[in-house]
Amino acid sequence: MRIIVNHLTRMQPGYICVAGVDVSSGQHVRPVLRGRLTTDLLTLDGGPFDIASLVEYSFAQIFGPALRSFRRGCVVDLEQGRASLGCLIPAVAPRLYVNEHGKTRALITDGTFTLDLSVTDLRLCDTDHRTPKRALVERIDAQMRSGVGVILSVGLARPWRHPDDTAERHWLQVNNIHLEDGAVWLLE
């Protein structure tokens, strides 16, 4: 996602608040990192933010340079990364689906990465915490494809070693899906 910064607000000393307009959708976006944004993110201090700055806002902006592509997703090595959680407004509507193994997944692009991520949203599975609610997954997917705005809560999973890998890594996943027309939908 690319935004043009049009809000640059002073907060307590050492902190700022930033917002801008997504160049593709015209919607306002407020970049969020773990904790508050600090003044070292201003262009005066080598950061990306100033009034009228064009800023790429993507997974890398949330998790930092330690985030890298790995297989069909992204990982951060142990004890690395700027944050473990964040929110992303995707540049293109994500696709939500249940794969051939019965796992809920999301196809997402942020302009830099194109990923196929695990979705761990508790609301999308039955009480056994494994079986996808297929009708709900299809309904949410249809809403996103119809143009309903979406914010994805994204995070890094606890360390896990893929069976074909040699090391544990923190894998990027979608923790929750928040829709513009019902951002706080509850368990069904």
Q: Would you list the domain boundaries of the chain?
A: 2-57, 62-179
Residue 145 has pLDDT above 90, yes or no: yes
pLDDT digits (tens, 9 = 90+) for 122-133: 889 998 989 999
pLDDT digits (tens, 9 = 90+) for 80-123: 887 788 878 787 889 999 999 999 999 998 767 789 999 999 88
- Whole-number Å distance between alpha carbons of 40 and 48: 9
pLDDT digits (tens, 9 = 90+) for 42-52: 888 777 788 88
Q: Identify which has the larger pLDDT, 141 or 23.
A: 141
Give the model's pLDDT for residue 32. Answer: 62
Place of tokens 């003044």: 39
The CATH code for residues 62-179 is: 2.40.50
CB 181 within 8 A of CB 148: yes
184: three-class secondary structure by DSSP:
coil
pTM over 0.85: no
State the fold for domain 2-57: OB fold (Dihydrolipoamide Acetyltransferase, E2P) (2.40.50)
Give the model's pLDDT for residue 150. Answer: 86
Same fold, 2-57 and 62-179: yes
